[in-house]
Amino acid sequence: MKDKSSKEVILISKDSMFQKDKWKVTATTNFENSIKDLSKNKISDSNNIAYFYGSDEKDTNKLSLINFEIKDSTKEIETDKFFLFNFNQAISYDEFKKRVSLKTIDDKEVNSEMTQIQSNFFKIKPQALLNSRSWYKIKIDMNKFTSLEGNSSKDTTFLVRFSTKSKAEGLIVSGQIIDSTNLKGKYILELTSTDRRSKYITSTLDRNWKFDNVLVGTYKLSIYLDENLNNTYDFGTFYPFKTSEVFYYLEKEIKVNSGWSIEDIILKITK
């Protein structure tokens, strides 16, 4: 759907629908996974079936962006935000990558991971947290797009500018490592939010560790001892025999609240 208030659903077929075939669309109303309204009540409609014939002629509908959640000049966007793009027609990954960009307001490219979720559904996730209290822009050259059906868009350039939230200052998560293994190496710690949207990595050669400027949220903490200093966790091998590097995770979740730093977390590592 376009948004929570939308009454329209667009179905896009994965395969071609030939002219000789007759098709039926059914809105299920009598099963547990049936269509429901926003109050989660099942929708009962006697006119819930529609028939149509496929066509082997090329779709001539114009290509358009049917859903993007951010409006121009939106403020207070999270610094760990990712962006979803939904088009009305299938688009190749290369076409999307070539026509869509995420940049700072002064035109510097933001390193991002672009993912094709479905043929018409894409995701852009910055590889690092966006800077706080900063302006960015997302640009889509709609007038240069071509769908897999060969259709173009009559729209001009799509441009959305947005600013990020202020980073919470002074939110620190820190502690100490108690290690009885007597092994040598570098400790690498990873703090990951339970919704997997925020991740922080730090390392230390002594037994004191700290994460700076952590966003408010709930986190899991893990640690491993990087014995060969290659910044990668190494699993054990049977031949030649070698044990895995020491790995430990804190069972209790860490809750970071606004204005409060968390200190003196003790990580006990044993063989």
pLDDT over 90 at 79, yes or no = no
- For residue 55, the model assigns a pLDDT of 57
Distance CA 64, CA 120 (A): 10
Question: Does 33 have pLDDT greater than 80?
Answer: no
What does the pLDDT read at residue 69? 87
Query: What is the predicted pLDDT for the residue at 154?
Result: 79
Q: Domain-by-domain residue ranges, the chain?
A: 65-164, 173-269
Distances (CA, A) of 201 to 128, 192, 198, 213, 259: 12, 9, 10, 12, 21
- Can you tell me the mean pLDDT for 258-264? 85
160 in Cβ contact with 195 (< 8 Å): no
Model pLDDT, residue 28: 67
Residue pLDDT, tens place only, 160-205 = 999 998 765 558 999 999 998 888 899 999 999 998 888 899 999 9
Please state whether beta strands 158-164 and 112-118 pair in parallel, antiparallel, or not at all (unpaired).
unpaired
Q: Does domain 65-164 have CATH number 1.20.1070.10?
A: no
Q: Which of 46-60, 208-222, 226-240 has the lowest mean pLDDT?
A: 46-60
d(CA 159, CA 171): 34
In this model, does residue 109 exceed pLDDT 90?
Answer: yes
Q: pLDDT-derived band of residue 13, with 50, 70 and 90 as boundaries?
A: low
pLDDT at 83 over 90: yes
Cβ atoms of 173 and 265 closer than 8 Å? yes
**65-164 and 173-269 share one CATH topology?**
yes
Q: Does the pLDDT of residue 58 top 60, yes or no?
A: no
Host H or E run for residue 99: helix 93-99
Would the pLDDT of 30 be above 70? no
pLDDT over 70 at 4, yes or no: no
Whole-angstrom distance, CA of residue 112 vs CA of residue 122: 13
* Fold of the domain built from segment(s) 173-269: Immunoglobulin-like (2.60.40)
